[in-house]
Every structure is written in structure tokens, then in C-alpha cells.
Structure 1
């Protein structure tokens, strides 16, 4: 079961970090980011430490607010957030033409929400690749709780150096995860290596769009806020991602920013002008309640010192995401499907 209450949230704060060390971990994490004067080069060279700290610090908040699938979605009018998230995952499975018995890799799988949904939807065996111990522990427990412990598994590893033989998987996908890679070409090359010839890779990427102006101070601030609140070394453009996947050797089948024709804005769950009972914890009121709850939990010692600061930089990220979405300078769903050639 996903974390549903205050004590559930408190129990996971800090992940695998010793509770006495959470505050210092927050200090170290914040120093990586441009919002606090950090440098992109430092984030890229220390990406493993930065991303692991981020997910140790943030996962419990994510699960409390989002459930088991930590991603945005193209959304129809009248469709709930949860319904849109499932459809977003099903869409990816259909684009990969997944069939029963296929061996599939989820790159950067989080706690495995999409992994479980896609495995059940397509009757495939899905391996989740993740470099964070806490998320893997949570994912394995959730797999067992729904009877997928034997057919789906997790492997702890860096997606820049995967511990799989060449040509292992029938399909590979990533959902808002490879944005953490310090080098997209290197990451895509590893995916290319472990994918069987003639098979496909599909991905939802976090990207800046052609509307982004690097000389615009507001645009730069928004980008810094998103990077801070989401553990990113840098946010690449859609053009950079597409070129990187080509440079890795893939053939592009199709690509599109799915945010462009989403009937409801992808950032709607975080928009302060919007209220929803079905996803209340993500609304402004819900986030204020969570912030104050964390403050109390930290004060009485049920949450480790530093938890409020994690809540604060996640709030800052939410503000940046909404502003970036409204200005159309950022998308969390630049989608492409690519194929590894049958012969090289």
C-alpha cells in the first residue's frame, strides 16, 4: 500500500539516510544547485550522489502526494489525475507493442508504479532499474503486495553502467527518469546496448522547449527551480534529446511533445488556481497542510530535522513547474519511440 497518512509520511522521510544525518544531506544536496549558487559541472560529475540524496529525501513526499507513479500525464476533460496517469502508462505500452511473455526494462523505475501497471496491462515481465536502495525496498514490498514478486523484479544499478548483457531485452522504456543522466548520449547508448536488435525504446523526457530563452532571467530562474526540486543536473532541450538518441544509434520512429495537445494542462494538479478533492494533497491547500504537518512532525521528533527544508524545495519545484508550463518553456512529456536497427 502507498503511504496514506502523516505517520506513514514521517516514517519514510530521509529514506536510507540515517535520521541524524538528514539535515546535513539537505545541506549537501542544495549546494549542488544553481538556485543556491551550485554549478552544472558539479551536478554532472556528482550525479549519483546528488540523485540518490534527492530520492532518499523526496520519495516519501512523492508517494504521499502522487501515489505509486511519480509522473505527469496527458489528460482529457473529465478524466481524473489517477486515470490519466494509468492511460499515460498504457499508451507507452501500446506504442512499444508489448506482448505477453516479453522481457521489458524500466529505466529509472522509482518505486515501480508504472512497472506494475504496465506488467499487468501487457502480461509482460518487467525489470526495474534503480540506483536508490530506499526506492527498491519500497518497490519490492509493493510488488509482493499485488502478487508480482515472482514476475517483476528490481536491479540496483546506475543506468550509465547497466549490469546486463548485450541484447537482453525485448523492449525498454523510461518515464521522466533519464533526465537525471549527466550525459544523454551515454545513457541512450547503454539502453541501445541492452536492447535486442529490431526492438524499440520509448521515453517521456523532461525538456525545455524552443520557447526557452537562456538569456531571459525569469526563464533561467524557472529552470533552476525545476532542477533544484527534482534532482536534475541540467534540463536539456527537445532538440538535444532527439539528437542524442540518434547519436546513440537509434532510428527515430516518431516524436512529439504530448503537452502541446493535452486538453487539460499537465501542470493542473499543481496549479494554485485549481482545487480538486480527488488529488487534494497536490493542490495549494493540500500542500500548505502537508507543510504545516511536516513542521509539527519535525518539532515533536517524529520527522528528522531538515524535513521542512525538503518540503520547501519541493514547493519551489512545484512553483517552477507551473510557471514553466504556463510559459510553455518546459515539458515533462517530450515523447519518442525509437528502434535499434536489425544490423549495425
Structure 2
């Protein structure tokens, strides 16, 4: 997730359902294992991770399921970092990366046994076009699962406060128009998928999903996102930019990210936004 990946060091997403007594690391693993189990992954299968970042979930799911995973990403730096981490994790022989646009994948039809996307396809300018490409490279009879960022049914497009929250999330995370859960579902069906099941998993989270992003909540596992952590990070970035160890504009980016985090929290509190609209879909034979 963007807040924790800003320096390219965090491997896994951080927006997820939380159970009481769970550590952040345990929650992340459960989130990824759940997806793998829903796909019914089997050892040796060829799997595609659409919009994989530096490959944190890719490595965890590969180890958990003994599958061969290709991470699709259009960012050269993230891929190079991911390759290094694959070697460290010992999955470099079974996992690889492909630099490409997920709207136009340089891959043959019917290539993969399973495909998943974690907080990635929300960046697609056209959900239908993206889902069609995923449908094309997935083998018939196989499954596609994803966690999508969506506006919920509680979002009111005529409410000025709701509009502001949505716009700030889009700006801070570099997103196009955030789609509703209904729009995602309709795009899946139009792309040719059979929807097995879908649900906003945030609804059942025992603890608020936005807790790690809430500056008023103190936690050692997500210290950088607390008010004190953000203050220290802000000043560290300012210093690094001053001594030319961080690119010009890093402070501005940090400010965008903080504002986006605040909007995510507010969207979660008002229940108008979800980062974990989950669906499992099948490509018919």
C-alpha cells in the first residue's frame, strides 16, 4: 500500500481486515493466504500477479502455495527491487517479473492457471478493458480474484463532503475516478467472467481497516503512520531533500500521501469507501 511503499522498502499491503490480538504481519499473511485459498492454487501452477509492486504478496503466496508466479509491473525500479528480494527469499527460480502495461499485456491467450490483483486494478483507466485483458490471458475454467478499492453504496455523489473525500483519495493515490462496487461487478460480467462470489470484506472486520492509517492511533507496528511517526518522517524527508539525498519534490509527495491517508480514514469512518471489495470470478470453458 502506498504509504508504506513510498521509499520502496515495504513489501506488503497494509490495508486489510484486522482481528483482535493479531499483529500487522499476521494480518497481512492471513489476507494473502485467504486469496490463495479462494483461488484454489495448486503446486506448480502458473499464476499472474497483476500490478505486483515489489512483490511482497507474490513471494508470500508463492511460498504458501508452491506456485510459479509472474509479477506484472510497469515500473522498472520496483521490478529491479523485486528481483533482489526474490533472491533473498529464495523464490527466484519459480517467480519472475514482466515489465508491461496491464491494459495491453504482451502475453498469449490462455496462459495462466490463476490470476489475482491486490489493490492494483483500481489504477486502470478503464476497468472493463483491464478485466478483458485479464480474461484473455487466463485459461478457460480458471479463476481471477482481486481486492479492489471502491466507493460503497453509502457514497452520495451529490454530497459535497463525500465528493471531497473521494477527490482527495484519488489525488493522493494517483487514481482515476474511483469506481463503485456495482461498476466493478458490471465490468467483470461484461468482460466475460462468471462471478462466483463478491463481498466488501471491510464490513466484517472486527477492528476498523483504517486503524493503521489513523494518526490518533498509536501502534509500534505502524509507528510511521502515527502523528509522531508522520512528524518524524516529514522532517526526515525535508532533511534528505535539503542535503540532496532525496529527489526534489519529495516533501510535496509526502504531503500528498499524508492527505490521502487522512481521506482514507475519513472515507472508512463514514463507510463510503472500501479498500477491500473482494471478488472471485471464473472464465467459462
1:236-275 matched pairs, under 5 angstroms: 236-275=179-218
2:163 is the counterpart of 1:224: no
Q: SS of the counterpart of 2:20?
A: coil
Structure 2 counterpart of 1:309? 252
Q: Report the count of equivalent residues.
A: 284
1:215 aligns to what SS in structure 2?
Answer: coil
C-alpha distance after superposition, 1:258-298 (max 9, x if no partner): 00010011100011221001221122211111001111111
Whether contact under 8 Å (2:13, 2:28) holds in the other structure is no
Deviations 1:206-243 (A, max 9, x none): 00001111111111111111111111011000000000
Q: Any stretches of 5+ residues in structure 2 without a counterpart?
A: none
- Aligned partners of 2:75, 2:199: CA distance in 1, in Å? 30
Residue 81 of structure 2 is matched in structure 1 by 138
**Partner SS, residue 278 of structure 1:** helix
> Which of 136, 142, 145 is equivalent to 1:193?
136
Cα deviation per residue 1:150-174 (whole Å; 9 max; x = unaligned)? 1100000000101111110000000
Deviation at residue 328 of structure 1 after TM alignment? 0.3
The 8 Å contact of residues 294 and 307 in structure 1, kept in 2 or not, is answered as yes
Q: Distance in 2 between matches of 1:155 and 1:61?
A: 21
d(CA) in 2 for partners of 1:240, 1:62: 33
TM-score after normalising by structure 2: 0.97
Contact between 1:110 and 1:135, CA under 8 Å: does it hold in 2? yes
Match of 2:236 in 1: 293
- The CA RMSD over aligned residues, in Å, is 1.3
**TM-score, length basis structure 1:** 0.81
1:165 aligned partner: 108
The verdict on how the C-alpha distance between 1:115 and 1:91 changes in structure 2, with shifts beyond 3 A counting, is same
Q: How far apart, in 2, do the equivalents of 1:292 and 1:119 lie?
A: 38
Aligned to 1:79, what secondary structure does the other structure show? coil
Q: Which one of 116, 122, 128 corresponds to residue 71 of structure 2?
A: 128
* 2:265 corresponds to: 322
CA distance in 2, matches of 1:243, 1:148: 36
1:181 match: 124
For 2:153 and 2:89, the matched residues in 1 are separated by 42
| Local SS of the residue matching 2:47 | strand
Q: Give the alignment partner of residue 103 of structure 1, picking from 22, 38, 46.
A: 46
Contact residue 149 and residue 276 of structure 2 kept, 8 A: yes
The residue matched to 1:315 in structure 2 has which SS?
Answer: helix
Taking the aligned partners of 1:327 and 1:271, their CA distance within structure 2 comes to: 14
Q: 1:202 Cα shift? A: 0.2
Task: Check whether the contact 1:258–1:335 (CA below 8 A) recurs between aligned residues.
Answer: yes
- The 3 A distance-change label for structure 1 pair 62 and 78 is farther
Gaps of 5+ in 1: 1-54
